[in-house]
Structure 1
Amino acid sequence: MKDPRENEDIDFMSAMEGVTRHKHDKADTQIKRSKSDLHNKQYRRQAAIQQEDKVIDGLSDEAVELVESSEELLFANPGVQLRVLKRLKQGHIPWEQGLDLHGYTVDQARDQLSKFIFEARRNKARCVIVVHGKAHSSESQQAMIKSYVNEWLKRLNGVLAFCSAQAKDGGAGALYVLLKRDK
């Protein structure tokens, strides 16, 4: 029985008939870079390092949509029962731990919030309070920490829901945060 590959070899050889072989001593694998390319590479590397510093636990310090200092916040992930959310809003789920972010920069607040939520979940807390303040100290000052906390809590792993606290616990300057319990 004849091997079918023999025909392929013959077809290839006849197709290559008349083609001359070009011989190289060595391929030029060096990429020529200008000083501006090297500078851009260093710039991109530095920017990537700085970008890593701006994101912790998926929380960025990039610009967020600002909320008013007196605005009531309310958020619930899908699956949170309306009855549970109502109890949280009324302050009927007692909070077990608290974090006060007064006086922190945005970066410090992000780090503290991330650590606090992680520790609270590790300690099996069901509900915590986060005091972010209202930024009423100056007319021109906006509620920056409140705005960031509003976005960060939506992204933090294990946060089921949050809402503005009752007046006795800080009102629009604080949030009750309902946490998922790991089994």
Structure 2
Amino acid sequence: MTDSQSPADDGAQSFEDLMQGVERHHHDRADTARVASPDPDSLALRRAAATEEPERVIDGLSSEAVDIVESGEELLFAAPGIQLRLMKRLRQGHLPWEQGLDLHGMTVEQARDELSTFIRDALRNRARVVLVVHGKAYSQAGRQPLLKSHVNDWLRRLDGVLAFCSAQPRDGGTGALYVLLKQRK
């Protein structure tokens, strides 16, 4: 640096040198065009990555410990503003579910990835109610219902989920949930 240059001039010049060839961005809106569904190969890669990196967080969902619920316990959640009449119809199974996901046999990390992807896809497909089967952990004597507990926690955190409740016996009872989703405009 020469005596006539100040340290501020040197920093400004190096920044300008770094910015050579960069074009100014002239809009401030996101591109909200629909994205095509991922191909099965990319889904397989994401599943493999989820099992290799169990500590990563997906859509804000962690696989760390949550409050454990009982196998036969009924689950119920409603975001503020959800009408009581709508919740009653959901609990009675009077709102038909349009898509379903079965998490039986998956690890917590696999279930987290699948649930996150499933909810995003259901929202993109404009589904109103979906069914998520998490099971009750009865097949593993003495084991706590980890998937049920994690799904209970994850659905409360996912954007787009307005409410959920345990399903009617014909759809899995306390081993499944009806999930009410936001409607896209």
Q: Same fold (TM over 0.5)?
A: yes
Pick the aligned partner of 1:104 from 103, 106, 120.
106
Pick the aligned partner of 1:75 from 59, 74, 77.
77
- Map 1:58-69; keep pairs closer than 5 Å: 58-69=60-71
In 2, Cα distance between equivalents of 1:146 and 1:59: 14
Aligned to 1:16: none
1:86 to 2:85 alignment: no
Per the alignment, do residues 52 and 182 of structure 1 end up closer, same or farther by CA in structure 2, a change over 3 Å counting? farther
1:136 to 2:147 alignment: no
**Number of residue pairs matched by the alignment:** 134
Deviations 1:41-90 (A, max 9, x none): xxxxxxxxx99952100001110000000000000000100000000000
Per the alignment, do residues 53 and 141 of structure 1 end up closer, same or farther by CA in structure 2, a change over 3 Å counting? closer
Give the CA RMSD over aligned residues. 1.5
In 1, Cα distance between equivalents of 2:72 and 2:168: 13
Per the alignment, do residues 52 and 103 of structure 1 end up closer, same or farther by CA in structure 2, a change over 3 Å counting? closer
In 2, Cα distance between equivalents of 1:70 and 1:131: 14
Q: CA deviation at 1:138?
A: 2.4
In 2, Cα distance between equivalents of 1:110 and 1:52: 10
In 2, Cα distance between equivalents of 1:112 and 1:139: 25
Deviations 1:115-138 (A, max 9, x none): 000000000000000000000012
Q: Which consecutive aligned stretches of 4+ in structure 1 deviate over 3 angstroms post-superposition?
A: 50-53
- Map 1:18-97; keep pairs closer than 5 Å: 53-97=55-99
Per the alignment, do residues 83 and 147 of structure 1 end up closer, same or farther by CA in structure 2, a change over 3 Å counting? same
Q: Unaligned stretches of 5+ in structure 1?
A: 1-49
TM-score, length basis structure 2: 0.70
Q: Unaligned stretches of 5+ in structure 2?
A: 1-51
In 2, Cα distance between equivalents of 1:79 and 1:51: 37
Q: CA deviation at 1:182?
A: 1.2
Residues 72 and 136, structure 2, Cα contact 8 Å, conserved in 1: yes
In 1, Cα distance between equivalents of 2:54 and 2:162: 26
Q: CA deviation at 1:140?
A: 1.2
Whose radius of gyration is greater, 1 or 2?
1
DSSP-derived class of the 2:89 partner: helix
TM-score, length basis structure 1: 0.71
DSSP-derived class of the 1:148 partner: helix
DSSP-derived class of the 2:77 partner: strand
Per the alignment, do residues 51 and 102 of structure 1 end up closer, same or farther by CA in structure 2, a change over 3 Å counting? closer
In 2, Cα distance between equivalents of 1:114 and 1:174: 16
In 2, Cα distance between equivalents of 1:77 and 1:54: 27
